[in-house]
Amino acid sequence: MAARLNAYENPALSKVYKYFIAANQALVASPLPTEVRHLVEIRASQINGCGFCVDMHTKDAAAAGETQQRINLVAVWRDATVFTEAERVALELTEAGTRLADTAGVGEELWAAAAAHFDEEQLGALVAAIALINAFNRGNVLTTQPAGDYVPGQFN
């Protein structure tokens, strides 16, 4: 499969993606736990059908020490016993924030559960992580970025 646009050579798209990448660096430096960020990136990418991002984020998670079992179970996290309560809340918030058209948004009960597990700075980073991965997913799906060739850390 060939991409419709080369995201890194197209003048407008590459410029925007550079800002996205800079935003991601701010998230890497944030107090949001790395494991949570990886889970968010994987789950939103699965929901949005972004093969490029699923490839990237599962490989990056594994390179960061995430177990293959947990990576495999992200898609069915509700039925898995391998995620902490904080991770489960983050995954639920990711689904609610990704499926905005299918839900009534993020309810107060879910937000309160997130606030019980993450401090205000971490919550801000979690919201930003969900928004950013959704933006990346949409760009990559629209331009049919192919999956499978990503090497962990290649964009660092």
Residue 10 lies in a domain: no
pLDDT tens-digit readout, 7-47: 889 999 999 999 999 999 999 999 999 999 999 999 999 99
Residue 150 lies in a domain: no
Under a CB-based contact definition with an 8 Å cutoff, are residues 140 and 3 in contact?
no
DSSP H helical ranges for the chain:
11-28, 34-48, 51-63, 68-73, 85-98, 108-117, 120-142
What are the structure tokens assigned to 109, written together? 């009960």
**Structural domain harbouring 121:** 58-142
CA separation for the pair 123, 120 (Å, rounded): 5
pLDDT tens-digit readout, 75-118: 999 999 999 999 999 999 999 999 998 887 899 999 999 999 99
Residue 83 lies in a domain: yes
Domain count along the chain? 1
Residue 88 lies in a domain: yes
The CATH code of the domain that includes 70 is 1.20.1290.10
